[in-house]
Chain A
């Protein structure tokens, strides 16, 4: 029952129909930091998305993911109550342990306010009950995420400059003007900290990726979902690629960027990116079939061919309890010409029905 309610709730909140006037995403607006590390409540939707690989002391690897969503409701603008539901905050966290064979995950959700759920407008500083994710003055990020199955306390240290996606942070999501987001990434984050599982605390290292994106209208009615991948390459480079799909599985829009080991960034346009499924996995729980192996072909300015293979096939995330969505979000190995070349995260949404965001 709980699920049904929350799904209904969120499906609505994140629906593309405009319920109130939210700020439009316009090109040519320079991002200003540290202000833009913080939240942008004038826009409908916003997320901070951390994905990465954890290195355990015994050499084994696990994927982890942490997302904070902020959603403007367009409601209660003039209500002086401390509970006024102007903004809602949701978060989920997941751990992909090959030994477990599937995701461990948990979520939180609340209306913003009362110090229990806050998204600072000054800097990245997110609190949701006992979960927190914040940027420290020295630029490092700290995540403290206790869940029912695990508890991680991680410090993420940037090793490279930030990466502004699209045109200096203005990332188009469709042919129509206005279908866009403000979007920056922080690849190659060095992971340190600890992971508690079944009462045991172990130190962890690894590499992670942060996306921060905000928008009021991110895709149109004809889009049912997207594929997204962010790869931390072993040589220090970074590759971002996404495409938006229609119901038939055709690409409606695509985009991304490729930064090489020297720091040179090449933007990727809608015609430069081709996702070609190479293997599938069908969820025994939901019956949804995901292309968990992908061949990613880049054309245009770059001629590169990447093979993406899931760390474990079952990384389906049923977050219908918080964001009302059902998708696959998993750690992937990246290889090029048959050689391992990087680690990253692949996100496959809208395979179980149209994604509402």
Chain B
């Protein structure tokens, strides 16, 4: 027969379609795996992108048409000097506070603005008075001392309408405002309040203070020049930003968190791609003789490969498209239910709407398609490369695997992982760490069939003699290629799960221990949980100290400090403690160092040490409340509470250097019972009912709850990965069962009952999963070391000790083995529904 010249595409697509239709379940599983991967990856991307987008919108509407924004603790006398600068066209001074609202846990961003100045620089922040009496007096509302304008998002958040009143807590006292209108031009999800700057200074107790000055320069003025000229004249800790830099920084704040989530999303896609691979391999094995026949009938190698890839293309397109749709739905639901940061706490005050960019949409579609094609490429090539004459013969399937049995590529990848590890972070992201994990994982996957073969070959012969277990072991040993595929799926998902479990457990244990160290007092007190308008005055401090039943009080003052204008602020905690106590009271990492005589000691968190390259003994200039304080690092401590770093200094030093007498919270040691002391404090202080008390046990519980919540998404992603892995086992056993129809028929023939065949499959599945689980534990443990010692310190700048959640790992391992056995049986049964007798007949 003369081969056809060039078979039309229609024939090739028809062949591909036949291939897909012949195994609808398997096709469905493949599609599902891709769908899940794409959906998760895309949903995470969408959520992150929407959040960052909304956040940068919010920041840009704050700076409006300004070319530059000066931020810091600025005295308002600085403002006229800036306004008079010859290159300045217009300026808008503002006082920004995070206002605490009684009975709300989140603060409200409140901006005091000069409406006449703002009109030329940040017009979007101008309030629109609600329609009032028709005498035209409503315009004055922009200057009224009790008028406040709320953005639509803030109005709906607080369930307020114009005319109603809004109470802000300042210190322990109430300050009441009237909602005079809205901010129609504020960002859609932006919670924001605007009022007159003079009233804000006065009524919020910030006379003489500004927090930002937005500056519009005359056309042609040099931005850098202006910055250079003014930066040295600004109070310590001030910065001059362009709106672009502000947006970038706000995106950077959450970048590590977002990248970590994105990597988890990609893991699901990777597992999906892997599932496609194993499915395609099995499908091709099963159709090996059919394909060989096609070759004999004149289809060229290239064309056969095209048929295979067309199948993958169809699966990938459908899976990706559905995945995109599912991703959109998931992201939309998650944004509505969980908020922009999925519980991570990075985007408070912003409720983003879904932000869909066509590039990302197409990108994730292509990623899904690429994953499918990648998964199919090797099997397709292998099928096309097979010699038709040999492949036509029955029982040739295992030959296909021979090629992949060399251990060297796997070993090389694992070695590469080892080489990547010592490299530092790239752009502050633990890229080499992630790359090492990927290398380790792929290397281990590659080694799996080889290892399995070695392992099974090494089993004592008598193990292979029983009617069920023996047969199962023999089957696995003789067909290690099949076994390897099912195994790899388990290994890929389970090792990642193990790694995450160990990491999260280590983290949780460390946090628990840390909470014990940082919460030594009997009771904690603060005027409110949010906002920077709340504090305790010296008089209130004295009252607290002299309250009966209070044995000892440690007050603390919190203050944001900018160490590097390009980075988010660091939290300064000025605490009543003596330098000698610090070593005991702080969870120090490494030894404490004595500071030079006359120097003010500070203790920095690991993040400060990491991000600013500071070591004990180093001297720093600390910009606090517009003053520059000379300090020396006396030690590094572990702080899981602040990601961007925190600094502890003694309250005495703080007061001596700044003169600021207010405090934000207090730790109390009690002589009496807690309830009695609380009641006494509430009655002694005016507005004492505003005081919030917390017992260390409650704080611990709440902190761990927050911890667990922020890892909930991680668990979810892991569960999905394991699900996809199990799907892989199902597919591999289904495929094998079909391929082994004759074998099962023969077994039935020689007296095995259906139950025995079920047991045989169960044992095989369990054995396979057992090997996978063992390998997964080993690989997962290695990955967890990388996560704990490399990825985490580089992403979040904190260290933790290692813990092994043995009970949990054991439980999950057993569950997985059991599930694998069940899956094997179910998949086998489904495949065997055709009936054993017909199966035996097939070859005869």
Contacts and interface: CB of A to CB of B under 8 A. Distances in A.
Interface of A: 1-2, 5-6, 8-13, 15, 17, 19, 73, 75-76, 79-85, 88, 109-111, 114-116, 129, 356
Interface in B118-162: 119-120, 123, 126, 128-129, 135-140, 142-145
Interface stretch (B79-87, B279-287, B445-453, B514-522): B79-87
Contacts of B198: 76, 79, 81-85, 111
Interface stretch (B200-208, B629-637, B776-784, B821-829): B200-208
A159 to B, nearest CB: 35
A5 B126 contact: yes
Given A17-B137, A115-B80, A83 B197 contact: yes
A75 B140 contact: yes
Interface stretch (B109-117, B292-300, B388-396): B109-117
B338 interface: no
Contacts of A109: 116
Contact of A6 (B119, B138, B143, B208): B119
Contacts of A114: 76-77, 79-80, 83
A13 B185 CA distance: 24
B201 A83 contact: yes
The 6 closest A-B pairs by CB, nearest first: A12-B139, A83-B198, A8-B139, A81-B198, A81-B201, A85-B143
B140 A12 contact: yes
A2 B120 contact: yes
15 contacts: A1-B126, A5-B142, A6-B116, A15-B135, A19-B140, A73-B143, A75-B143, A76-B198, A79-B145, A82-B76, A82-B77, A83-B76, A110-B114, A116-B83, A116-B84
Nearest to B142: A9
Nearest to B112: A83
A80 B143 contact: no
Contacts of B83: 114, 116, 129
Contacts of A76: 143, 145, 198-199
Of B116, B117, B144, B197, most A-chain CB atoms within 10 Å: B116
Given A17-B135, A75-B140, A1 B123 contact: yes
A73 B185 CA distance: 26
Contact of A79 (B84, B115, B137, B199): B199
A19 B143 CA distance: 13
B96 interface: no
Interface string B168-208: 00000000000000000100000000001111011000011
A84 B207 CA distance: 11
Given A8-B129, A11-B139, 7 more contacts: A9-B116, A75-B145, A76-B143, A79-B145, A81-B207, A85-B198, A116-B83
B202 to A, nearest CB: 5
Contacts of A80: 202, 207
A8 B128 CA distance: 9
A112 to B, nearest CB: 11
Is the contact region of chain B dominated by helix, strand, or loop, or is it mixed? helix
Interface string B426-452: 000000000000000000000000000
Contact of A12 (B114, B119, B137): B137
Contacts of A11: 136, 139
A19 B119 CA distance: 24
Contact of A5 (B77, B119, B135, B196): B119
A85 B119 CA distance: 16
Contacts of B126: 1, 5
A19 to B, nearest CB: 7
Contacts of B202: 79-81, 84
Is the contact region of chain A dominated by helix, strand, or loop, or is it mixed? loop
Of B114, B139, B185, B199, most A-chain CB atoms within 10 Å: B139
Contact of A15 (B77, B137, B207): B137
A79 B115 CA distance: 17
Given A12-B136, A80-B202, A85 B196 contact: yes
Contacts of B140: 9, 12-13, 19, 73, 75
Nearest to A74: B140
A220 B732 CA distance: 93
Nearest to A108: B116
Of A8, A116, A356, most B-chain CB atoms within 10 Å: A8
B121 to A, nearest CB: 10
Of A5, A13, A17, most B-chain CB atoms within 10 Å: A5
Nearest to B129: A8
A80 B120 CA distance: 26
Contact of A356 (B129, B136, B142, B185): B136
A110 B139 contact: no
Given A15-B137, A76-B143, A82 B120 contact: no
A3 to B, nearest CB: 9
B241 to A, nearest CB: 23
B179 to A, nearest CB: 17
A356 B136 CA distance: 10
Contacts of A13: 139-140
Contacts of B137: 12, 15, 17, 19
A82 B145 CA distance: 14
A116 B80 contact: yes
B123 A2 contact: yes
Interface in B671-723: none
Contacts of B201: 81-83
Contacts of B123: 1-2, 5
A80 B208 CA distance: 9
Nearest to B209: A81
A149 to B, nearest CB: 14
A110 B90 CA distance: 11
Contacts of A115: 80
A305 B292 CA distance: 116
A11 B140 CA distance: 9
Contacts of B135: 15, 17
B145 to A, nearest CB: 6
Contacts of B93: 83
A354 to B, nearest CB: 10
A27 to B, nearest CB: 29
Nearest to B80: A114
A7 B126 CA distance: 13
B95 to A, nearest CB: 9
A109 B90 CA distance: 11
Nearest to B139: A12
Contacts of B119: 2, 5-6
Contacts of A6: 116, 119
B116 A12 contact: no
B357 to A, nearest CB: 28
A70 to B, nearest CB: 14
A197 B135 CA distance: 42
A110 B83 CA distance: 12
Contacts of A8: 129, 138-139
A114 B80 CA distance: 6
A307 to B, nearest CB: 37
B832 to A, nearest CB: 74
B94 to A, nearest CB: 11
Contacts of A12: 136-140
B207 to A, nearest CB: 6
Of A2, A10, A81, A116, most B-chain CB atoms within 10 Å: A81
A39 to B, nearest CB: 18
Contacts of A111: 114, 116, 143, 198
Contacts of A75: 140, 143-145
Interface in B638-674: none
A83 B145 contact: no
A106 to B, nearest CB: 12
B116 A88 contact: yes
Contacts of A82: 76-77, 198, 201, 208
B502 to A, nearest CB: 57
B118 to A, nearest CB: 9
A76 B77 CA distance: 19
Nearest to B95: A83
